[in-house]
């Protein structure tokens, strides 16, 4: 009887081998709904990429399968890096692409003409067969210096890969493919790193890119002041200090970048030009983290960022989301003070209907994934459904799954106490998609 129960028992997670910060909002998409199936990827053991799928018609899970081998995560003397988490895309021929493994590359790879080095190697793998996650092959057609991969496919099939071309002191670039990811054009810079003349620091950036309307790609970004080690301004040296919120648009049809007022922007964008032409909100004292954006059917954007105090010792404090919307003339700030602190992604259904998918800690003892809704353009928010709640747990979340099925909107990793592993969930309007415990306990099969 015990054996029978083990074979029929359902659990809320689909795998237990997520590792470190297995997913994040910045590396995206980590999930895609395509032809009745939701495909998801995440960082697994040894920081290698893993892929699973769920068929919404047959209710069948497949995987997880290891899609490649990262050059990070193999040295026991180094802490988990987490920068090489996978992102995915499905091309027009049905092949699945995974980008992973980079944190700026190493000097052994060669000269990085657009930035500096750090660790790992950015890699690209593709499924051997269309819509088949069981077999993968590696393609040598992207820069090895990339990190924070973000993939966007346009309606004409063009694939854009955006990433930082190296460690902190590097340009942000994109590479374009017009042949289903089999070849990519050379990197093109769109955000410029540059040494400051007023202090011992370098301008750096953290953008988040997404599909806009038509041919547009929309960008929310904040500024990272990359200080020299142990400088006079701050004896802590390099710290994750980020400020301000910016927005711009890339018209992929014309190749022109512009600001929210449709004024052209000269690329790659510098800090001076960003402050003059692309600033949403100046946030000089508190620290920012993880910008996100979406546009309404009229093309007017909502842009959000997490904001909180610097609490010192090379780390930032908990942050609450701040939201801004463009009304055609000016940026208006919404009221988000009643929202819990935590990471989030945004979804616009209309000019007035805004939803935020939030990861948060409730009363310091309960981890929660919930949706908060506004019906007045972000002026007020009310709590919607709770997708997952666990006592004494912490979560990491992905960005929203591309073209999501209502039952599969976001990927979540729950930290397993006393280990570096995470239970992995796919959450939708009805909560977690369940799986047989015997299938979900991947680590026990090793």
Q: Which residues are catalytically annotated?
A: 83, 148
CA-derived radius of gyration, the chain: 21
What are the tokens at 2?
């015990």
Nearest-angstrom CA–CA distance, 324 and 294 = 11
Q: What is the DSSP secondary-structure string of 305-338?
A: EEEE-B-STT-B---EEEEEEE-SSSEEE---TT
Nearest-angstrom CA–CA distance, 118 and 113 = 14
Is 277 strand, coil or helix?
A: helix
Q: Which residues contact 58 (CB under 8 A, 6 or more apart)?
A: none
CB atoms within 10 A of CB 111: 8
| Nearest partner of 201 among 233, 177, 173, judged by Cα | 233
What are the tokens at 228?
């020299």
Burial class (CB in 10 A: 0-12, 13-18, 19+), 112: buried
Q: Name the β-bridge partners of 428.
A: 431
What are the tokens at 29?
């998409």
């Amino acid at each position: 009887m015990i054996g029978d129960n083990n074979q029929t028992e359902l659990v809320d997670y689909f795998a237990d081998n997520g590792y470190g910060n297995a997913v994040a909002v910045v590396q995206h998409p980590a999930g895609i709904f395509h032809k009745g199936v939701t495909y998801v990827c995440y960082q697994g053991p040894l920081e290698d990429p893993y892929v699973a799928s769920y068929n919404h018609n047959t209710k069948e899970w497949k995987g997880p399968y290891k899609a490649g081998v990262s050059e990070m995560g193999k040295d026991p003397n180094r802490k988990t890096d987490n920068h090489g988490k996978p992102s995915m895309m499905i091309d027009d021929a049905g092949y699945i692409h995974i980008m992973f493994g980079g944190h700026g590359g190493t000097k052994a790879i060669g000269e990085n003409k657009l930035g500096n080095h750090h660790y790992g190697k950015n890699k690209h793998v593709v499924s051997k067969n269309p819509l088949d996650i069981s077999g993968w092959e590696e393609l040598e057609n992207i820069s090895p210096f990339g990190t924070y991969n973000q993939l966007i496919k346009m309606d004409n099939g063009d694939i854009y890969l955006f990433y930082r071309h190296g460690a902190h002191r590097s340009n942000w670039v994109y590479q374009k493919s017009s042949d289903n990811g089999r070849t990519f054009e050379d990197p093109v810079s769109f955000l410029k790193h540059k040494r400051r003349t007023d202090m011992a620091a370098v301008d750096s950036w953290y953008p988040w890119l997404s599909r806009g309307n038509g041919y547009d790609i929309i960008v929310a970004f904040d500024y990272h002041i990359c200080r020299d080690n142990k400088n006079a301004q701050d004896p802590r040296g390099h710290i994750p200090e980020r400020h301000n919120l910016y927005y711009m648009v890339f018209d992929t049809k014309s190749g022109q970048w512009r600001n929210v007022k449709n004024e052209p922007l000269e690329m790659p964008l510098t800090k001076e030009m960003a402050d003059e032409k692309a600033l949403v909100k100046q946030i000089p004292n508190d620290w920012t983290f993880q910008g996100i954006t979406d546009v309404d059917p009229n093309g007017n954007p909502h842009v959000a960022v997490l904001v909180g105090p610097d609490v010192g010792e090379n780390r930032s404090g908990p942050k609450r989301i701040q939201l801004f919307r463009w009304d055609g003339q000016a940026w208006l700030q919404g009221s988000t003070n009643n929202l819990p602190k935590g990471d989030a992604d945004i979804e616009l259904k209309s000019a007035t209907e805004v939803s935020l998918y939030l990861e948060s800690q409730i009363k310091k003892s309960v981890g929660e994934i919930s949706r908060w809704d506004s019906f007045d353009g972000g002026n007020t928010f009310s709590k919607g459904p709770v997708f997952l709640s666990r006592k004494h747990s912490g979560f990491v979340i992905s960005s929203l799954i591309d073209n999501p099925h209502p039952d599969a909107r976001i990927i979540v990793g729950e930290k397993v106490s006393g280990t570096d592993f995470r239970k992995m969930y796919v959450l939708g309007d009805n909560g977690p998609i369940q799986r047989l415990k015997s299938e979900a306990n991947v680590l026990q099969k090793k």
